[in-house]
Structure 1
Amino acid sequence: MINEIKRQPVTFSLLLVTTVVFMAIQIFRFGDTTSSPTIFEFGGMYGHYLKYDPSQIWRLLTPVFVHIGWQHFLFNIFAIYIVGQLAEQIWGSWRFLLLYLLSGVMGNTVTLFFTPDVVAAGASTSIFGVFAAVSVVGYFGRNPYLKQMGQSYQAIIVVNLIFNLFTPNVSFVGHLGGLVGGLLAAVFLPTISEKHMFKKEKRFLALALYVVLSLGMLFLAL
Protein backbone atom coordinates (compact mmCIF):
# COMPACT_ATOMS: atom_id res chain seq x y z
CA MET A 1 0.00 0.00 0.00
CA ILE A 2 2.81 2.43 0.85
CA ASN A 3 4.41 1.78 -2.54
CA GLU A 4 1.07 2.44 -4.26
CA ILE A 5 0.71 5.73 -2.43
CA LYS A 6 4.21 6.76 -3.48
CA ARG A 7 3.50 5.87 -7.12
CA GLN A 8 0.09 7.59 -7.24
CA PRO A 9 0.19 10.32 -4.57
CA VAL A 10 -2.52 12.47 -6.17
CA THR A 11 -5.03 9.63 -6.40
CA PHE A 12 -4.64 8.79 -2.72
CA SER A 13 -4.65 12.48 -1.76
CA LEU A 14 -7.98 12.91 -3.57
CA LEU A 15 -9.33 9.85 -1.78
CA LEU A 16 -8.16 11.25 1.55
CA VAL A 17 -9.59 14.74 1.08
CA THR A 18 -12.91 13.39 -0.21
CA THR A 19 -13.17 11.01 2.74
CA VAL A 20 -12.26 13.69 5.29
CA VAL A 21 -14.96 16.02 3.93
CA PHE A 22 -17.59 13.27 4.03
CA MET A 23 -16.62 12.25 7.56
CA ALA A 24 -16.73 15.89 8.65
CA ILE A 25 -20.32 16.10 7.47
CA GLN A 26 -21.08 12.91 9.39
CA ILE A 27 -19.59 14.34 12.57
CA PHE A 28 -20.73 17.96 12.46
CA ARG A 29 -24.16 17.29 10.97
CA PHE A 30 -24.81 14.02 12.82
CA GLY A 31 -24.97 11.88 9.71
CA ASP A 32 -27.13 14.25 7.69
CA THR A 33 -25.34 13.97 4.35
CA THR A 34 -28.35 14.31 2.06
CA SER A 35 -30.13 17.57 2.90
CA SER A 36 -29.61 20.51 0.54
CA PRO A 37 -28.63 23.00 3.29
CA THR A 38 -25.90 20.65 4.54
CA ILE A 39 -24.52 19.95 1.05
CA PHE A 40 -24.50 23.68 0.27
CA GLU A 41 -22.86 24.56 3.59
CA PHE A 42 -19.99 22.15 2.96
CA GLY A 43 -19.27 23.44 -0.55
CA GLY A 44 -22.00 22.20 -2.86
CA MET A 45 -23.08 24.09 -5.97
CA TYR A 46 -26.26 26.20 -5.94
CA GLY A 47 -26.37 28.35 -9.03
CA HIS A 48 -28.90 30.93 -7.86
CA TYR A 49 -26.79 31.75 -4.81
CA LEU A 50 -23.68 32.06 -6.97
CA LYS A 51 -25.56 34.51 -9.17
CA TYR A 52 -26.50 36.48 -6.07
CA ASP A 53 -22.95 36.41 -4.70
CA PRO A 54 -20.29 35.92 -7.44
CA SER A 55 -17.56 35.86 -4.76
CA GLN A 56 -18.72 32.25 -4.19
CA ILE A 57 -16.97 31.35 -7.47
CA TRP A 58 -14.93 28.77 -5.56
CA ARG A 59 -18.07 26.61 -5.62
CA LEU A 60 -17.15 25.64 -9.18
CA LEU A 61 -14.43 23.48 -7.61
CA THR A 62 -15.45 22.44 -4.10
CA PRO A 63 -18.46 20.27 -5.08
CA VAL A 64 -16.11 17.55 -6.37
CA PHE A 65 -15.14 16.84 -2.76
CA VAL A 66 -18.69 16.78 -1.36
CA HIS A 67 -21.03 13.77 -1.53
CA ILE A 68 -24.72 13.20 -0.95
CA GLY A 69 -25.18 10.05 1.13
CA TRP A 70 -23.18 6.87 1.62
CA GLN A 71 -24.01 5.26 -1.72
CA HIS A 72 -22.90 8.34 -3.64
CA PHE A 73 -19.70 8.58 -1.59
CA LEU A 74 -18.72 4.90 -1.81
CA PHE A 75 -19.42 4.63 -5.54
CA ASN A 76 -17.28 7.66 -6.35
CA ILE A 77 -14.48 6.67 -3.98
CA PHE A 78 -14.24 3.32 -5.74
CA ALA A 79 -14.24 5.01 -9.15
CA ILE A 80 -11.50 7.46 -8.11
CA TYR A 81 -9.38 4.58 -6.81
CA ILE A 82 -9.68 2.62 -10.07
CA VAL A 83 -9.49 5.27 -12.77
CA GLY A 84 -7.26 7.61 -10.76
CA GLN A 85 -4.37 5.19 -10.59
CA LEU A 86 -4.56 4.51 -14.33
CA ALA A 87 -4.80 8.20 -15.23
CA GLU A 88 -1.96 9.17 -12.91
CA GLN A 89 0.28 6.66 -14.66
CA ILE A 90 -0.73 8.05 -18.06
CA TRP A 91 -0.38 11.79 -17.32
CA GLY A 92 1.83 11.90 -14.26
CA SER A 93 0.73 13.26 -10.91
CA TRP A 94 0.41 17.01 -11.53
CA ARG A 95 -1.17 16.78 -14.97
CA PHE A 96 -3.61 14.17 -13.66
CA LEU A 97 -4.57 16.53 -10.82
CA LEU A 98 -5.11 19.31 -13.36
CA LEU A 99 -7.20 16.99 -15.53
CA TYR A 100 -9.33 15.97 -12.54
CA LEU A 101 -9.94 19.52 -11.36
CA LEU A 102 -10.53 21.02 -14.80
CA SER A 103 -13.11 18.33 -15.57
CA GLY A 104 -14.89 19.07 -12.31
CA VAL A 105 -14.86 22.82 -12.90
CA MET A 106 -16.32 22.42 -16.39
CA GLY A 107 -18.98 20.06 -15.09
CA ASN A 108 -19.99 22.47 -12.34
CA THR A 109 -19.97 25.41 -14.74
CA VAL A 110 -22.40 23.54 -16.99
CA THR A 111 -24.51 22.73 -13.91
CA LEU A 112 -24.55 26.42 -12.98
CA PHE A 113 -25.54 27.42 -16.50
CA PHE A 114 -28.30 24.88 -17.18
CA THR A 115 -29.64 23.96 -13.73
CA PRO A 116 -29.04 26.90 -11.37
CA ASP A 117 -31.97 25.88 -9.16
CA VAL A 118 -30.35 22.57 -8.14
CA VAL A 119 -27.99 21.96 -5.21
CA ALA A 120 -25.36 19.69 -6.74
CA ALA A 121 -22.22 17.96 -5.51
CA GLY A 122 -20.03 14.93 -6.17
CA ALA A 123 -16.84 13.82 -7.86
CA SER A 124 -18.77 12.41 -10.81
CA THR A 125 -18.07 15.49 -12.94
CA SER A 126 -14.33 14.90 -12.53
CA ILE A 127 -14.65 11.11 -12.88
CA PHE A 128 -16.58 11.39 -16.15
CA GLY A 129 -13.90 13.78 -17.38
CA VAL A 130 -11.15 11.29 -16.60
CA PHE A 131 -13.17 8.52 -18.29
CA ALA A 132 -13.39 10.70 -21.39
CA ALA A 133 -9.69 11.58 -21.29
CA VAL A 134 -8.64 7.93 -21.11
CA SER A 135 -10.96 7.22 -24.06
CA VAL A 136 -9.27 9.99 -26.06
CA VAL A 137 -5.70 8.78 -25.51
CA GLY A 138 -6.85 5.22 -26.16
CA TYR A 139 -8.34 6.24 -29.49
CA PHE A 140 -5.55 8.51 -30.73
CA GLY A 141 -2.55 6.85 -29.04
CA ARG A 142 -0.46 3.91 -30.20
CA ASN A 143 -0.32 1.92 -26.96
CA PRO A 144 -2.38 -1.28 -27.50
CA TYR A 145 -3.18 -1.56 -23.77
CA LEU A 146 -4.53 1.99 -23.67
CA LYS A 147 -6.51 1.37 -26.85
CA GLN A 148 -8.23 -1.54 -25.13
CA MET A 149 -8.79 0.49 -21.96
CA GLY A 150 -10.11 3.39 -24.03
CA GLN A 151 -12.75 1.16 -25.62
CA SER A 152 -13.75 -0.11 -22.18
CA TYR A 153 -14.16 3.42 -20.85
CA GLN A 154 -16.19 4.44 -23.89
CA ALA A 155 -18.63 1.65 -23.04
CA ILE A 156 -18.67 2.73 -19.38
CA ILE A 157 -19.49 6.30 -20.41
CA VAL A 158 -22.39 5.25 -22.64
CA VAL A 159 -23.87 2.88 -20.05
CA ASN A 160 -23.60 5.47 -17.28
CA LEU A 161 -25.16 8.25 -19.35
CA ILE A 162 -28.10 6.02 -20.26
CA PHE A 163 -28.45 5.05 -16.60
CA ASN A 164 -28.33 8.74 -15.60
CA LEU A 165 -31.26 9.55 -17.89
CA PHE A 166 -33.53 7.30 -15.83
CA THR A 167 -32.10 8.09 -12.40
CA PRO A 168 -33.65 10.93 -10.40
CA ASN A 169 -31.48 13.41 -8.50
CA VAL A 170 -28.50 12.87 -10.82
CA SER A 171 -26.94 15.86 -12.59
CA PHE A 172 -26.95 14.63 -16.17
CA VAL A 173 -25.80 18.01 -17.50
CA GLY A 174 -22.99 18.08 -14.93
CA HIS A 175 -21.74 14.71 -16.13
CA LEU A 176 -21.87 15.89 -19.74
CA GLY A 177 -19.92 18.99 -18.76
CA GLY A 178 -17.31 16.85 -17.06
CA LEU A 179 -17.03 14.76 -20.23
CA VAL A 180 -16.45 17.85 -22.36
CA GLY A 181 -13.86 19.18 -19.91
CA GLY A 182 -12.03 15.85 -19.88
CA LEU A 183 -12.09 15.51 -23.66
CA LEU A 184 -10.54 18.94 -24.14
CA ALA A 185 -8.03 18.52 -21.30
CA ALA A 186 -6.88 15.19 -22.79
CA VAL A 187 -5.84 17.08 -25.91
CA PHE A 188 -3.93 19.96 -24.30
CA LEU A 189 -2.39 17.96 -21.42
CA PRO A 190 0.38 15.73 -22.82
CA THR A 191 0.76 12.18 -21.57
CA ILE A 192 4.06 10.86 -20.26
CA SER A 193 4.70 8.29 -22.98
CA GLU A 194 3.25 10.10 -26.02
CA LYS A 195 3.89 13.79 -25.49
CA HIS A 196 3.40 14.56 -29.18
CA MET A 197 0.12 12.71 -29.63
CA PHE A 198 -1.46 16.02 -30.68
CA LYS A 199 0.14 18.86 -32.60
CA LYS A 200 0.70 22.21 -30.90
CA GLU A 201 -2.07 23.84 -32.90
CA LYS A 202 -4.59 21.27 -31.72
CA ARG A 203 -3.43 21.62 -28.12
CA PHE A 204 -3.79 25.37 -28.28
CA LEU A 205 -7.21 25.09 -29.92
CA ALA A 206 -8.43 22.65 -27.24
CA LEU A 207 -7.17 24.91 -24.44
CA ALA A 208 -8.73 27.98 -26.05
CA LEU A 209 -12.02 26.15 -26.48
CA TYR A 210 -12.00 25.11 -22.82
CA VAL A 211 -11.40 28.68 -21.69
CA VAL A 212 -13.99 30.19 -24.05
CA LEU A 213 -16.67 27.64 -23.11
CA SER A 214 -16.15 27.87 -19.37
CA LEU A 215 -15.78 31.66 -19.20
CA GLY A 216 -18.58 32.18 -21.72
CA MET A 217 -21.08 30.10 -19.71
CA LEU A 218 -19.93 31.73 -16.50
CA PHE A 219 -20.37 35.23 -17.95
CA LEU A 220 -23.84 34.45 -19.30
CA ALA A 221 -24.92 32.70 -16.10
CA LEU A 222 -23.81 35.49 -13.79
Structure 2
Amino acid sequence: MFIIKEDFSTFIKKYPLTVLIVGVCCLLTILITMKGGYTKTNVVLLGSYDRNLINNGQFWRLLTYSVGHMSYSHFLLNIVFIILLSRPLERVLGKLKFILCYLFTSILAVIIIHFFSNIDYVAGSSGFGYGLLGIYIYLFLKFRNKFYKSDRNFIFMFVAFGFTITLLIPSVSFSGHLGGFIGGIIFAALVFKKEHQVLFVT
Protein backbone atom coordinates (compact mmCIF):
# COMPACT_ATOMS: atom_id res chain seq x y z
CA MET A 1 0.00 0.00 0.00
CA PHE A 2 2.79 2.42 0.86
CA ILE A 3 5.47 1.07 -1.47
CA ILE A 4 6.15 3.33 -4.46
CA LYS A 5 6.11 1.21 -7.62
CA GLU A 6 5.57 3.87 -10.28
CA ASP A 7 8.30 5.52 -12.31
CA PHE A 8 8.61 9.31 -12.09
CA SER A 9 6.33 10.23 -15.02
CA THR A 10 3.64 7.75 -13.96
CA PHE A 11 3.82 9.04 -10.39
CA ILE A 12 3.16 12.60 -11.59
CA LYS A 13 0.14 11.47 -13.65
CA LYS A 14 -1.39 9.33 -10.90
CA TYR A 15 -0.81 11.70 -7.96
CA PRO A 16 -0.86 15.26 -9.31
CA LEU A 17 -1.99 16.88 -6.05
CA THR A 18 0.67 15.13 -4.00
CA VAL A 19 3.22 16.30 -6.56
CA LEU A 20 1.80 19.84 -6.41
CA ILE A 21 2.07 20.02 -2.61
CA VAL A 22 5.61 18.63 -2.64
CA GLY A 23 6.53 20.95 -5.52
CA VAL A 24 5.34 24.08 -3.72
CA CYS A 25 7.21 23.02 -0.57
CA CYS A 26 10.36 22.53 -2.67
CA LEU A 27 9.89 25.94 -4.30
CA LEU A 28 9.63 27.63 -0.90
CA THR A 29 12.79 25.84 0.24
CA ILE A 30 14.65 27.06 -2.85
CA LEU A 31 13.43 30.62 -2.26
CA ILE A 32 14.41 30.60 1.40
CA THR A 33 17.84 29.24 0.46
CA MET A 34 18.29 32.07 -2.04
CA LYS A 35 17.42 34.55 0.72
CA GLY A 36 20.06 33.16 3.04
CA GLY A 37 18.45 30.22 4.77
CA TYR A 38 16.03 29.50 7.59
CA THR A 39 15.91 32.63 9.70
CA LYS A 40 12.78 33.90 11.42
CA THR A 41 12.66 36.86 9.05
CA ASN A 42 12.77 34.66 5.96
CA VAL A 43 10.32 32.08 7.28
CA VAL A 44 7.77 34.77 8.16
CA LEU A 45 8.38 36.63 4.90
CA LEU A 46 7.50 33.50 2.93
CA GLY A 47 4.16 32.93 4.61
CA SER A 48 4.60 31.21 7.96
CA TYR A 49 2.10 31.35 10.78
CA ASP A 50 2.81 34.43 12.86
CA ARG A 51 0.58 35.09 15.87
CA ASN A 52 0.78 38.87 15.75
CA LEU A 53 0.32 39.12 11.99
CA ILE A 54 -2.71 36.83 12.08
CA ASN A 55 -4.19 38.86 14.93
CA ASN A 56 -3.69 41.86 12.64
CA GLY A 57 -5.73 40.25 9.85
CA GLN A 58 -3.26 38.24 7.74
CA PHE A 59 -5.51 35.17 7.80
CA TRP A 60 -4.02 33.73 4.61
CA ARG A 61 -1.13 32.59 6.79
CA LEU A 62 -3.45 29.94 8.24
CA LEU A 63 -2.87 28.08 4.98
CA THR A 64 0.42 29.33 3.55
CA TYR A 65 2.29 28.23 6.67
CA SER A 66 1.69 24.63 5.57
CA VAL A 67 4.05 24.80 2.57
CA GLY A 68 6.95 26.43 4.37
CA HIS A 69 9.29 24.82 6.91
CA MET A 70 11.57 25.70 9.81
CA SER A 71 14.77 23.94 8.66
CA TYR A 72 16.14 21.66 5.95
CA SER A 73 15.73 18.58 8.14
CA HIS A 74 12.14 19.60 8.89
CA PHE A 75 11.49 20.00 5.18
CA LEU A 76 12.99 16.62 4.24
CA LEU A 77 11.14 14.75 6.97
CA ASN A 78 7.78 16.22 5.99
CA ILE A 79 8.31 15.59 2.29
CA VAL A 80 9.00 11.91 2.95
CA PHE A 81 5.93 11.88 5.21
CA ILE A 82 3.70 13.27 2.44
CA ILE A 83 5.06 11.16 -0.41
CA LEU A 84 4.62 7.93 1.54
CA LEU A 85 1.21 8.61 3.07
CA SER A 86 -0.76 10.81 0.70
CA ARG A 87 -0.72 8.68 -2.46
CA PRO A 88 -3.27 6.00 -1.44
CA LEU A 89 -5.65 8.64 -0.12
CA GLU A 90 -5.35 10.87 -3.17
CA ARG A 91 -6.31 7.87 -5.28
CA VAL A 92 -9.24 6.91 -3.04
CA LEU A 93 -10.61 10.35 -2.23
CA GLY A 94 -10.33 11.93 -5.66
CA LYS A 95 -9.13 15.45 -6.32
CA LEU A 96 -11.87 17.48 -4.59
CA LYS A 97 -12.00 15.51 -1.35
CA PHE A 98 -8.22 15.29 -1.22
CA ILE A 99 -7.96 19.09 -1.49
CA LEU A 100 -10.59 19.44 1.24
CA CYS A 101 -8.59 17.00 3.37
CA TYR A 102 -5.46 19.11 2.93
CA LEU A 103 -7.28 22.35 3.77
CA PHE A 104 -9.21 20.94 6.73
CA THR A 105 -6.29 19.23 8.48
CA SER A 106 -3.80 22.03 7.82
CA ILE A 107 -6.09 24.84 8.96
CA LEU A 108 -7.41 22.96 12.00
CA ALA A 109 -3.84 22.21 13.09
CA VAL A 110 -2.83 25.87 13.02
CA ILE A 111 -6.05 27.00 14.71
CA ILE A 112 -5.22 24.63 17.56
CA ILE A 113 -1.74 26.16 17.67
CA HIS A 114 -3.21 29.66 17.74
CA PHE A 115 -5.57 29.06 20.64
CA PHE A 116 -3.83 26.35 22.66
CA SER A 117 -0.12 27.11 22.48
CA ASN A 118 2.25 30.02 23.02
CA ILE A 119 4.13 29.60 19.73
CA ASP A 120 4.79 32.94 18.04
CA TYR A 121 5.64 31.64 14.57
CA VAL A 122 5.79 28.29 12.83
CA ALA A 123 5.76 26.73 9.37
CA GLY A 124 5.48 23.20 8.06
CA SER A 125 3.22 20.60 6.49
CA SER A 126 3.18 18.46 9.63
CA GLY A 127 -0.46 19.30 10.32
CA PHE A 128 -1.44 17.71 7.03
CA GLY A 129 0.97 14.81 7.60
CA TYR A 130 -0.48 14.00 10.99
CA GLY A 131 -3.93 14.46 9.49
CA LEU A 132 -3.11 11.63 7.09
CA LEU A 133 -2.06 9.49 10.04
CA GLY A 134 -5.35 10.27 11.74
CA ILE A 135 -7.27 9.14 8.67
CA TYR A 136 -5.38 5.86 8.49
CA ILE A 137 -5.85 5.18 12.21
CA TYR A 138 -9.59 5.72 11.84
CA LEU A 139 -9.77 3.44 8.79
CA PHE A 140 -7.62 0.73 10.31
CA LEU A 141 -9.66 0.64 13.50
CA LYS A 142 -13.09 0.80 11.86
CA PHE A 143 -12.39 -1.36 8.80
CA ARG A 144 -9.59 -3.49 10.20
CA ASN A 145 -10.14 -6.51 7.96
CA LYS A 146 -9.90 -4.44 4.77
CA PHE A 147 -6.17 -3.81 5.20
CA TYR A 148 -3.03 -5.90 5.34
CA LYS A 149 -1.51 -6.38 8.78
CA SER A 150 1.82 -5.08 7.50
CA ASP A 151 0.19 -1.78 6.45
CA ARG A 152 -1.55 -1.44 9.81
CA ASN A 153 1.69 -2.11 11.68
CA PHE A 154 3.54 0.42 9.52
CA ILE A 155 1.07 3.19 10.39
CA PHE A 156 0.90 2.30 14.10
CA MET A 157 4.71 2.39 14.20
CA PHE A 158 4.69 5.70 12.30
CA VAL A 159 2.22 7.23 14.77
CA ALA A 160 4.22 6.01 17.78
CA PHE A 161 7.48 7.31 16.30
CA GLY A 162 5.93 10.63 15.26
CA PHE A 163 4.43 11.48 18.63
CA THR A 164 7.53 10.27 20.49
CA ILE A 165 9.64 12.70 18.46
CA THR A 166 7.01 15.39 19.01
CA LEU A 167 7.27 14.99 22.79
CA LEU A 168 11.07 14.69 22.91
CA ILE A 169 12.01 17.70 20.78
CA PRO A 170 11.06 20.98 22.52
CA SER A 171 10.87 23.02 19.31
CA VAL A 172 8.25 20.73 17.74
CA SER A 173 4.62 21.86 18.01
CA PHE A 174 2.72 19.16 19.89
CA SER A 175 -0.52 21.15 19.59
CA GLY A 176 -0.15 21.40 15.81
CA HIS A 177 0.57 17.71 15.36
CA LEU A 178 -2.28 16.71 17.65
CA GLY A 179 -4.62 19.15 15.91
CA GLY A 180 -3.80 17.71 12.50
CA PHE A 181 -4.19 14.15 13.82
CA ILE A 182 -7.62 14.90 15.31
CA GLY A 183 -8.57 16.71 12.12
CA GLY A 184 -7.72 13.58 10.12
CA ILE A 185 -9.91 11.42 12.35
CA ILE A 186 -12.81 13.86 12.02
CA PHE A 187 -12.40 14.07 8.25
CA ALA A 188 -12.28 10.28 7.90
CA ALA A 189 -15.40 9.89 10.04
CA LEU A 190 -17.24 12.31 7.76
CA VAL A 191 -16.05 10.77 4.49
CA PHE A 192 -15.64 7.04 5.08
CA LYS A 193 -19.00 5.86 6.37
CA LYS A 194 -19.55 2.64 4.41
CA GLU A 195 -17.35 -0.42 4.05
CA HIS A 196 -17.46 -0.33 0.25
CA GLN A 197 -15.73 3.05 0.26
CA VAL A 198 -12.47 1.48 1.41
CA LEU A 199 -12.42 -1.66 -0.71
CA PHE A 200 -9.83 -0.24 -3.10
CA VAL A 201 -7.53 1.38 -0.54
CA THR A 202 -5.19 -1.59 -0.23
| Fold agreement, TM-score > 0.5 | yes
Pairing partner for 2:47 from 43, 52, 63: 43
The amino acid that maps onto 1:24 is L
The amino acid that maps onto 1:43 is G
Instruction: Tell me the CA shift for residue 166 of structure 1.
Output: 1.3
Aligned to 1:164: 166
Partner of 1:68: helix, strand, or coil?
Answer: coil
Pairing partner for 1:25 from 32, 51, 66: 32
| 4+ aligned runs moved over 2 Å, structure 1 | 115-118, 141-152, 189-197
The amino acid that maps onto 1:13 is L
- Contact 2:113-2:119 within 8 A present in 1 as well: no
Q: Distance in 2 between the 1:4 and 1:117 partners?
A: 36
User: How large is the RMSD of aligned CA atoms in angstroms?
Assistant: 2.3
- Would you say 1:14 and 2:16 are equivalent positions? no
What TM-score does the superposition give when structure 2 sets the normalisation length? 0.86
Partner of 1:89: helix, strand, or coil?
Answer: helix
Q: 1:43 to 1:191 in 2, by over 3 A?
A: farther
The amino acid that maps onto 1:23 is I
1:134-173 CA distance string (max 9 Å, x none): 1211221265326653443233212211221110211111
1:31-110 equivalence runs, <5 A: 32-33=37-38, 35-51=39-55, 53=56, 55-110=57-112
Instruction: Tell me the CA shift for residue 24 of structure 1.
Output: 1.2
Partner of 2:197: helix, strand, or coil?
Answer: coil
Aligned to 1:129: 131
Instruction: Tell me the CA shift for residue 94 of structure 1.
Output: 2.5
Instruction: Tell me the CA shift for residue 176 of structure 1.
Output: 0.5
Give the unaligned 5+ runs of structure 1.
198-222
Q: 1:196 to 1:45 in 2, by over 3 A?
A: same
| Percentage of pairs with the same residue | 25
Q: 1:59 to 1:146 in 2, by over 3 A?
A: farther
162-171 or 91-100: bigger deviation: 91-100
RCO comparison, higher one (Cα < 8 Å, 6+): 2
Q: 1:6 to 1:195 in 2, by over 3 A?
A: same
- Contact 1:138-1:149 within 8 A present in 2 as well: no
Q: Distance in 1 between the 2:195 and 2:11 partners?
A: 20
The amino acid that maps onto 1:64 is S
Give the unaligned 5+ runs of structure 2.
1-7
1:69-88 CA distance string (max 9 Å, x none): 21111111111111111221
Q: 1:150 to 1:105 in 2, by over 3 A?
A: farther
Partner of 1:43: helix, strand, or coil?
Answer: coil
What TM-score does the superposition give when structure 1 sets the normalisation length? 0.78
